[in-house]
Amino acid sequence: MLIHLSLRDLAVVSRADVAFGPGMTVLSGETGAGKSLIVDALLLLTGTRAESGLVRHGAERAELGAEFRLEAAGPALDWLRDNDLDDADTDGGCSLRRVIRADGGSRAWINGRQATLGQLSELGSMLVEIHGQHEHQALLDRAHQLDLLDAFGRHEPLRSEVAALARQWRDLDREISSLEAAGDPEARLAYLQHQRDELDRESLEPVDIEELLRSHRRQSAAASLLASYDNTLLRLSSDDDLSPARGLGLIAAELHRQLDSEPLLKNVLELIETTRLNIDEVETSIGRLRDEVDLDPHRLQALDERLGRLHDLARKHRVPMDQLGACRDAIAGEIDALREGSERRQRIGKDRDEVAVRWRDAAATLTRSRLSAADDLARDISALMAELDMVSGVFEVQFLAVEEGRPAALGAERCEFLVSANPGQPARPLRKTASGGELARISLAIEVALLGLDSVPTMVFDEVDAGIGGAVAEVVGQKLRALGAARQVLCVTHLPQVAAQGHRHLRVSKAVVDSQTHSIVSELDEAARIEEVARMLGGVAIAEETRANARQMLATAQSL
């Protein structure tokens, strides 16, 4: 609720500080006094673009400020928290401030922190709703019209269910898209399976590959090894004097004859004997190795072919040959992951289809309830239009199917408010209604029909009584007063029948100071209020009968 508004150098207002309270507050005054400046100030404070001509002549800038008291769990307070613009010191309050320079530039603040016009507008739509001869009213917005219809039909649980299912469907669909972005899993699986089958046909453990290399080296050198072994054995076992054993025997015999002369030769003879034994061991070992040599051309060919396959696989997978086993394991892991992903994709697809069915059922229930609520709302508003001197007026709700091809958070349809203000005219969208006065009264009828259901706490009606009078004006006043019992209502009016219905009354007047015109806003007490209503009834010269009439109008209104 708006509790305070301050203006500095805005048009003809040099300075004004206005306190507001609950219920219906009336603003009246002579033509040109500046009544609508209060409305203009609220529009500027809720994000409307400013013009340099709004700054008072001779001033450098205009300053506007507003203080609101917010509901503890209201959408405006939630928005402030979400945007880190709440202020614990304000105890659930909110302050808006805007400065407009004479050159047209402006700056804005929310709770003392600088804000953009977009933020000001977004927050302002939750704080104030302007009704009057303006094309930018919230009631003209089709999304807001659907919100109003759902509020009238008490559709919040159904709408929440539909929105939750739509979000669930979108989350599942996004997950499926993410899985599909990786390409066709079946094609990838077939390709990887072929690669793994190629690798599985070979023994790829590093120890096996090392043994293969050793076997290939031995088989490749088998002929050369046999020749070397045969030559070695021939030389070791020959009976001629050139054989090592024969030569060492001759040397040992020669030295043994000298043993008596040199006892130390005994050590040499022992070394010679050891050497002869080692030569015998060498001959035995060479013979054993020769026996193990398998000179098999077919085996060599098989080893060549296997080694060739491993080299080809290593080149294909761009890894060293001893890492082919690790490559095979990595491919197996990807195959498992793809199979799991494919199964997961099928599960998610099934879940998405099930959610879509549930959404269609919930959306169909919401549609049926909306159709019923639309009939009731149209009947109520049409009746209220008749009370507001639009006797032949007809209000309708038109539904438009949503063709999104996917579950929508708001349901399967949107709506538009249609109005026919005069006999014989087809119903047209409310946003295209030409007459500002008619639009204002239709808006009033809608608000009364939705009494207590709109979440916006403060409603401003600017000249909603334009073009009416008499009994209809009294009905308008009564409707506004009834609306004020549930919401804070600010009403700019020139009709005494409407002004008398207010819980509070503010008067805007002009004064000339130092050759400059100033607008002054003042709250009226009971006596001043009688005078103001009398002025609105009878003009400048007020007769006692007019005062008595004004007194009676006020007493009647306050007794309701």
3-state secondary structure 52-76: HHHECCCCCEEEEEEEEECCCCCHH
278: left (phi > 0), else alpha (psi -120 to 50), else beta?
alpha
Among candidate residues 450, 452, 465, the one with its CA nearest the CA of residue 27 = 465
Tokens of 69: 């008291």
What is the per-residue pLDDT across 358-415, written as a single tens digit (0 to 9) for each? 999 999 999 999 999 999 999 999 988 888 778 788 999 999 998 777 899 999 999 9
Helix 222-237 and helix 244-256: axis angle, to 10°? Answer: 30
Distance CA 64, CA 70 (A): 19
Q: How is the chain split into domains, by residue range?
A: 185-338
Q: Which helix (H) or strand (E) holds 298?
A: helix 297-317
- Cβ count near 230 (within 10 Å): 12
**Chain centroid to CA 346: how far?**
27
What DSSP line would sit under 23-36, residue for residue? SEEEEEESTTS-TH
Per-residue DSSP letters for 371-422?
Answer: HHHHHHHHHHHHHHHHHTT-TT-EEEEEEEE---SS--TT-SEEEEEEEE-S
The pLDDT value given to residue 347? 85
Residue 342 parent element (H or E): helix 324-387
Pair 133, 465: CB distance under 8 Å: no
Residue 372 has what pLDDT?
96
Looking at beta carbons, which pairs linking 524-529 to residues 24 or more positions away fall under 8 Å?
A: 526/554, 529/505, 529/554
Closest listed residue to residue 509, CA positions, set 547, 549, 540, 548: 540
> Sheet of 24-29: strands edge to edge?
128-132, 458-462, 488-492, 24-29, 504-513, 516-523
Strands (E), 407-480: 413-420, 428-429, 458-462
In degrees rounded to 5, what are phi and psi of residue 516? -125, 145
Strand 458-462 and strand 488-492: pairing?
Answer: parallel
Q: What is the pLDDT of residue 135?
A: 43
Q: Is 451 exposed, middle or buried (0-12, 13-18, 19+ CB in 10 A)?
A: middle
Say how far apart CA 462 and CA 436 lie, in whole Å.
Answer: 11
3-state secondary structure of 240: coil
**Tens digits of per-residue pLDDT, 221-267?**
666 676 677 677 777 776 665 678 777 777 888 888 878 778 888 88
Write the single-letter amino acid at 488: Q
| Close Cβ partners of 104 (under 8 Å, ≥ 6 residues apart) | 50, 51, 52
> What does 188-216 look like in DSSP terms, one character per residue?
HHHHHHHHHHHHHTS---HHHHHHHHHHH
Distance CA 120, CA 78 (A): 15
pLDDT, residue 367, reads 96
Q: Tokens representing 424?
A: 């014989």
- Three-state SS for 468? coil
Kindly report the pTM of this predicted structure.
0.60
Ordered DSSP codes for 485-522: TTSEEEEE---HHHHTT-SEEEEEEEEEETTEEEEEEE
What phi-psi label fits residue 265: left (phi over 0), alpha (psi between -120 and 50 degrees) or beta? Answer: alpha
DSSP 462: E
What are the backbone angles phi and psi of residue 130, rounded to the nearest 5°? -100, 130
What are the angstrom distances between the C-alpha of 464 and each of 45, 426, 494? 21, 23, 10
Low-confidence ranges of the chain (pLDDT < 50): 135-136
Quote the CA–CA distance of 452 and 483 in Å, as a whole number.
8
Q: What is the DSSP string of 81-124?
A: HHTT---GGGSSEEEEEEEEETTS-EEEEETTEEE-HHHHHHHH
Q: What is the pLDDT of residue 153?
A: 93
CB 129 within 8 A of CB 137: yes
